[in-house]
Structure formats: structure tokens, C-alpha cells
Amino acid sequence: MRKTLTSGVAVFLGASALLLSGAAQAGATENTVEVCGFYTAGGHAYYKHCGSIPVGVWVDTWDNQDELWYCAPVGDDRHLGPTSKISWASHQQAC
């Protein structure tokens, strides 16, 4: 009886591990999230506008000297510069 119970637990644990690993793999491929707004990648700053109307985007720099504003059209994904220079960006209003 003890051998059967131990074997049953081992089978249950093995099946559980397979189900969990399969769920993690499925979630990794199915849960792709679109990045909108300010984001960084590879040491560079970007702003992606996902809205339905053009908006003005304010770009803030670390030194507060070379800040800029631009009108982002719908779907715009713009490189703003290196993260050593760009600290943040956000939309302000329609343009």
C-alpha cells in the first residue's frame, strides 16, 4: 500500500510540474503587451503614441536645458535619445 501511495504522489507531482511549465510557456507567447508612452530599451529612450488623436509630447532631460515639445501623430514610435540625456516624456494635450 505504501509503495502504491508513494508512486501515486510521484505521478501527481510530475504531472503537476508538466502542467505548470506548459502554462508558463503558453503565457509567455500569448500575453504580448503593447508598450505605450515613455519606455527605454538598450540605453535609449522612446515615446510611442497609441492614442486615436495626435498629442503634444513633452520630453524632459536630466539637465533641464534641452527639453523639447513635439506633436506625435497617431501610431508614432519615436527615438528621443540616450537615457543618459532623456529622463522622461509624457503627452500634454491634443495638437
Pair 68, 87 in one domain: yes
Per-residue model confidence as pLDDT tens digits over 8-47: 444 444 444 433 444 444 444 455 677 899 999 999 999 9
Number of domains observed in the structure of the chain: 2
Kindly state whether residues 23 and 54 are assigned to the same domain.
no
> Does residue 72 carry a pLDDT above 50?
yes
What's the pTM?
A: 0.64
Q: Domain check: are 25 and 41 in the same one?
A: no
Same domain, 24 and 58: no
Average pLDDT estimate for 43-65: 95
Determine whether 59 is exposed, middle or buried from the number of CB atoms within 10 Å of its CB (0-12, 13-18, 19+): buried
Q: Which pLDDT value is given to residue 17?
A: 43
